[in-house]
């Protein structure tokens, strides 16, 4: 689980961490990590929810709503093929705007 979390936070869309709101970046990381953990070790998913997802959203209403939406997109299998490229493109555009400023 720790490796999946590290991968999601550092390799999936690294520019999202610097160009998006922190809760958007965390939401992406949580959904990606959940997907990786579920594929690699379905028995670990309960631990993931108890140790990472639950505490992250406990007192964060916006993050709770965001992760629910992103998780729904993932369950429809549009997260990796549609949502992630969109987040990547928005991050690249924001980065390009800040370089030109």
For the chain, the domains span 2-100
Nearest alpha carbon to residue 56 among 86, 25, 90: 25
Nearest alpha carbon to residue 48 among 83, 82, 4, 85: 4
Q: Helix count (H) and strand count (E) of the chain?
A: 7, 0
Q: Exposed, middle or buried: residue 92 (CB in 10 Å: 0-12, 13-18, 19+)?
A: middle
Note down pLDDT in tens along the chain; length 101 residues.
666 666 566 655 555 554 567 788 888 889 888 988 888 888 899 999 999 999 999 999 999 999 998 888 888 776 666 666 666 666 666 556 655 55
Residue 23 · residue 66 · CB < 8 Å:
yes
């Amino acid at each position: 689980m720790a490796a999946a979390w590290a991968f999601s936070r550092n390799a999936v869309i690294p520019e999202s961490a610097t160009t998006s709101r922190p809760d958007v970046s965390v939401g992406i990381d949580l959904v990606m990590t959940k997907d990786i953990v579920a594929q690699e070790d379905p028995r670990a998913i309960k631990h993931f929810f108890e140790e990472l997802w639950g505490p992250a959203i406990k007192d964060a209403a916006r993050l709770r709503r965001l992760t629910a939406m992103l998780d729904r997109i993932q369950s429809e299998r549009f997260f990796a093929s549609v949502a992630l490229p969109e987040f990547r493109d928005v991050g690249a555009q924001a980065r390009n705007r800040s370089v030109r400023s």
